[in-house]
């Protein structure tokens, strides 16, 4: 007989709660994305650019996961969208229970169609925890190196979309876009990849158009 480890039990309970979140979000017609990355890849900046692009077109809410501080939540608040901070303390990832606890708040904004969840920054723990999202969006910045998919395969495998961010910095690094794409697609051939820069604006429109298109197929 298979002996379940404590970790397997935790993950299986998390999957159950994530399933409940997914049902509730779908019932309310909310599409959700879970943004994961290492610290400093530009997740919050990408979210800010996404909010700017969607302003006046689509109602968005943001959940900000962080170990400490509400610095990112304060940045998001300036865009005038509902934002909820979840401080995880020592936990290196959000989980379905924490996100489930924010759904009453979310549903008190019935106009919201898109929920963006910014996970805690690291490429390890968030890979395993389904939050109930429709898509996991991985942000990897060029200065981190084109070998990241090979070093952190689990999160590349678990993600649906990859934003290769900070393309404006590529001339200052030995980053190869061809190698990065090859490494990422070797781990996950289904990854949808966008090259983005929050400084030049490169790729932001393409990413936002893709996001809203995907959203329409799930919650028309
Ligand atoms: Mg951030």
Q: Percent of the chain beyond pLDDT 90?
A: 95
Question: Cβ of 171: how many Cβ atoms within 10 Å?
Answer: 8
- The pLDDT assigned to 4 comes to 77
DSSP string, 135-186: EEEEEEEGGG-TTHHHHSHHHHHH-SEEEEE-GGGGGGS---HHHHHHHHHH
**CA 60 to ligand 1 center in whole angstroms:** 17
DSSP state of 70: S
- The pLDDT assigned to 2 comes to 66
**CA 189 to ligand 1 center in whole angstroms:** 27
pTM: 0.96
Burial status of residue 63 (CB atoms within 10 A of its CB: 0-12, 13-18, 19 or more): buried
Residue ranges of the domains in the chain?
A: 2-218
**CA 12 to ligand 1 center in whole angstroms:** 28
How many CA atoms are closer than 13 Å to the CA of 25, on its beta-carbon side? 30
Ligand 1 ion: Cβ-proximal residues, 5 Å cutoff: 43-44, 72
**CA 190 to ligand 1 center in whole angstroms:** 26
Give the model confidence (pLDDT) of 76-130 as tens digits. Answer: 999 999 999 999 998 999 999 999 999 999 999 999 999 999 999 999 999 999 9
Q: Would you tell me which CATH number, out of the four given (3.40.309.10, 3.40.50.300, 3.90.1150.10, 1.10.645.10), belongs to the domain 2-218? A: 3.40.50.300
**CA 198 to ligand 1 center in whole angstroms:** 13
């Amino acid at each position: 007989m298979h002996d379940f480890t404590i970790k397997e039990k935790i993950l299986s309970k998390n999957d159950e709660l994530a399933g409940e979140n997914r049902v509730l979000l779908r019932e309310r017609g909310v599409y959700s994305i879970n943004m994961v990355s290492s610290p400093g890849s530009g997740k919050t900046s990408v979210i800010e650019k996404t909010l700017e692009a969607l302003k006046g077109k689509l109602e968005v809410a943001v959940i900000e996961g962080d170990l400490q501080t509400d610095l990112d939540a304060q940045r998001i608040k300036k865009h005038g969208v509902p934002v909820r901070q979840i401080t995880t303390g020592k936990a290196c990832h959000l989980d379905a229970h924490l996100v489930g606890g924010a759904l009453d708040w979310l549903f008190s904004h019935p106009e919201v169609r898109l929920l963006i969840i910014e996970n805690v920054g690291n490429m390890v723990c968030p890979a395993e925890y389904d939050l109930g999202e429709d898509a996991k969006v991985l942000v990897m910045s060029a200065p981190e190196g084109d070998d990241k998919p090979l070093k952190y395969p689990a999160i590349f495998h678990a993600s649906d979309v990859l934003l290769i961010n900070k393309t404006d910095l590529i001339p200052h690094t030995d980053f190869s876009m061809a190698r990065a794409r090859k490494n990422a697609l070797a781990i996950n051939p289904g990854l949808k990849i966008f090259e983005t820069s929050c400084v030049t604006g490169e790729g932001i429109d393409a990413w936002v158009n893709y996001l809203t298109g995907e959203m329409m197929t799930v919650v028309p």
